[in-house]
């Protein structure tokens, strides 16, 4: 077995025999639902005897369930989403024609990197696993659009046959049916992640990010359809290439309102995100767990209906709604997203000092870990001194410390975490193995960014030496 590149020791799974002494004692798994702070494990000796860091494939943050096959679940989800993708893209190509489909695809993909980058930046404190984000993106692009296209078409045809007025049916479908169907279909992805990836869904920021990825996928497929049809209209009007209809559609859907669908669905995500903050012992918890997501979904439908209605009935109504409603709401939600991210950083600065007092972290580390600038500086400092593996180790250290802070915060909020002690032990395991590289880098970053007092140059720096910086 090869040695670990960070510690130089042979990798052995946590708890496996082979150490020179028993690991330090940890408290039994937390079962009480009291909001009192969880006790911090005491560090025994200057060198706690953890086994070496297990290989990346064996990192565990939750108990394994042998009776469930992750491989089978993953293959099933990928297969279903792939089939939905083939069906919906085939339907769009049939609607727009091959040439219109390719033009629409090329134009619709342009805002996707911008949106993904924006939501990923928002999620920098504790990044969500890419598998969750890709599921949300694929669900929005394929499953929700497939549900929407069939449900909307069926509803409009039924209304048209019942009223014998196709124009009114189209308007009613756009303002009443489409918001209900589309927001429900998109919100289903966020709800599935809330139910089945609960440990990766800790608050409003996670709700916003998952909703944003889902809505980005939905808008991508929808834009292919609209832009492809616009290109077909230009061709029917005698245009040799991209004409005025395509340009106008591109400006309205891609330039002026790329955040429209993410803005609607983010309200559903916020409802689920605030529901994730509820303590297990909270009064009327079940009622709030239902009302918060349902309220967010209703607001998402209402905003979507207002947007579609303004674009359906009169151009001036669209401009009025865009300027006096959509822009202020977007600004408000942007502020709320940034504020929520700052709250996450405050959680780190509030929870990690307990581990620093117990000797697991250096005194300056909690302040460095609660600053995105200091975290970036610590990775750069380690990379300059020891290369990319060291920078990667510091990044992993920051991720583990963040997860540890949020885990402790959940227990302090009164949420049930039955395997708290086991998860805490493993996270401390990973932190301790990376501490020789990460602790000096974070101490340097905390002092270099002015978050802590810098001692005079003749004192012991404990890994921070301005003469070498």
The mean pLDDT of 306-325, rounded to a whole number, is: 84
Whether 372 and 402 share a structural domain: yes
Instruction: Tell me what pLDDT residue 419 has.
Output: 80
Distance of CA 250 to CAs 22, 109, 224, 242, Å?
64, 11, 10, 11
Distance CA 462, CA 469 (A): 14
Q: What DSSP string describes 46-98?
A: SS--PPPPPPGGG--SS---TTS-HHHHHHHHHHHHHHHHHHHHHHHHHHHHH
Instruction: Tell me what pLDDT residue 63 has.
Output: 47
Distance of CA 142 to CAs 82, 84, 184, 253, Å?
8, 5, 14, 19
Mind listing the pLDDT tens digit for each residue in 363-380?
899 999 999 999 999 999
Cα three-residue angle 292-297-303, rounded to 5 degrees:
125
Residue 78: other Cβ atoms inside 10 A: 13
Domain-located, residue 391: yes
Mind listing the pLDDT tens digit for each residue in 235-252?
887 777 788 889 999 998
Whether 311 and 377 share a structural domain: no
What is the b/e burial string over 383-414, where b = at least 16 CB atoms within 10 angstroms of the residue's CB?
Answer: beeeeeebbbbbbbbbbbbbbbbbbbbbbbeb
Domain-located, residue 242: yes
Whether 415 and 337 share a structural domain: no
Q: Is the pLDDT of residue 48 over 90?
A: no
Q: Say which residue, 330 or 468, is predicted with more confidence.
A: 330
With tokens 């069939």, the residue in question is 150
Q: Going by C-beta distance under 8 Å and a sequence separation of 6 or more, which residues neighbour residue 330?
A: 259, 263
Domain-located, residue 413: yes
Whether 430 and 403 share a structural domain: yes
The mean pLDDT of 245-264, rounded to a whole number, is: 91
Domain that holds residue 104: 85-342
Whether 252 and 163 share a structural domain: yes
Based on the structure, what is the number of domains in the chain? 2
Whether 363 and 333 share a structural domain: no
Q: Is the pLDDT of residue 5 over 70?
A: no
Q: Give the residue among 50, 415, 41, 4 at the shortest CA–CA distance from 201.
A: 415
Instruction: Tell me what pLDDT residue 20 has.
Output: 37
Domain-located, residue 249: yes
Whether 286 and 426 share a structural domain: no
Domain-located, residue 237: yes
Mind listing the pLDDT tens digit for each residue in 415-430?
877 788 888 888 999 9
Whether 227 and 194 share a structural domain: yes
Q: Percent of the chain beyond pLDDT 70?
A: 82
Whether 213 and 249 share a structural domain: yes
Whether 187 and 257 share a structural domain: yes
Q: Going by C-beta distance under 8 Å and a sequence separation of 6 or more, which residues neighbour residue 224?
A: 92, 96, 101, 104, 105, 108
Mind listing the pLDDT tens digit for each residue in 320-362?
888 888 899 999 989 998 998 899 999 999 999 999 998 899 9
Q: Among 40-54, 162-176, 273-287, 303-317, which stretch is predicted with the lowest mean pLDDT?
A: 40-54
Domain-located, residue 387: yes
Instruction: Tell me what pLDDT residue 312 has.
Output: 77
Instruction: Tell me what pLDDT residue 283 has.
Output: 72
Domain-located, residue 95: yes
Which of 290, 316, 342 terminates a domain? The answer is 342
Domain-located, residue 392: yes
Q: Is the pLDDT of residue 464 over 70?
A: no
Query: CB of 281 within 8 A of CB of 35?
Result: yes
Which of 342, 373, 401 terminates a domain? The answer is 342
Whether 301 and 361 share a structural domain: no
Whether 188 and 287 share a structural domain: yes
């Amino acid at each position: 077995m090869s040695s670990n590149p960070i510690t130089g020791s042979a990798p052995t799974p946590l708890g496996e025999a082979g150490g020179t002494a028993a690991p330090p004692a940890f408290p039994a798994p937390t079962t009480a639902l009291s909001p009192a702070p969880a006790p911090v494990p005491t560090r025994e000796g200057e060198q706690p005897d953890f086994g070496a860091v297990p290989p990346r494939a064996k990192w565990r943050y939750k108990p394994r369930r042998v009776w469930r096959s992750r491989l089978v679940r993953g293959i099933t989800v990928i297969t279903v989403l792939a089939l939905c993708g083939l069906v919906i893209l085939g339907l769009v190509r049939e609607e727009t024609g091959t040439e219109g489909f390719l033009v629409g695809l090329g134009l619709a993909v342009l805002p996707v990197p911008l949106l993904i980058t924006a939501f990923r930046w928002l999620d920098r404190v504790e990044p969500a696993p890419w598998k969750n984000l890709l599921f949300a993106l694929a669900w929005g692009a394929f499953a929700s659009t497939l549900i929407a296209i069939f449900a909307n078409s069926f509803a409009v045809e039924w209304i048209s046959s019942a009223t014998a007025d196709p124009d009114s049916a189209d308007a009613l479908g756009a303002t009443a049916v489409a918001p209900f169907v589309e927001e429900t279909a998109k919100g289903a992805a966020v709800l599935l992640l809330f139910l089945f990836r609960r440990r990766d869904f800790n608050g409003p920021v996670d709700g916003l990010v998952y909703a944003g990825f889902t809505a980005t996928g939905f808008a991508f497929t929808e834009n292919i359809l609209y832009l492809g049809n616009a290109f077909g209209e230009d061709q029917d009007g005698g245009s040799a290439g991209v004409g005025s209809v395509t340009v106008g559609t591109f400006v309205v859907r891609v330039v002026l309102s790329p955040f429209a669908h993410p803005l609607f669905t983010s309200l559903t995500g916020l409802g689920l995100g605030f529901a994730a903050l509820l303590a297990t012992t909270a009064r009327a918890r079940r009622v709030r767990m239902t009302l918060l997501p349902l309220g967010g979904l209703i607001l998402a439908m209402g905003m979507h209906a207002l947007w579609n209605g303004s674009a359906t009935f009169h151009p001036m109504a669209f401009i009025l709604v865009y300027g006096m409603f959509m822009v202020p709401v977007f600004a408000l939600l942007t502020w709320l997203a940034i504020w929520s991210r700052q709250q996450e950083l405050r959680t780190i600065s509030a929870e990690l000092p307990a581990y620093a007092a117990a000797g697991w972290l250096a005194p300056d580390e909690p302040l460095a870990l609660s600053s995105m600038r200091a975290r970036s500086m610590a990775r750069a400092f380690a990379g300059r001194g020891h290369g990319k593996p060291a920078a990667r180790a510091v990044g992993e250290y920051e991720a583990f410390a963040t997860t540890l802070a949020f885990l402790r915060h959940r227990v302090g909020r009164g949420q049930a975490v039955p395997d708290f002690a086991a998860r805490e032990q493993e996270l401390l395991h990973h932190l301790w193995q990376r501490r020789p590289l990460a602790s000096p880098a974070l101490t340097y970053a905390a002092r270099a960014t002015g978050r802590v007092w810098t001692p005079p140059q003749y004192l012991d720096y404990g890994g921070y030496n301005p003469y070498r910086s």
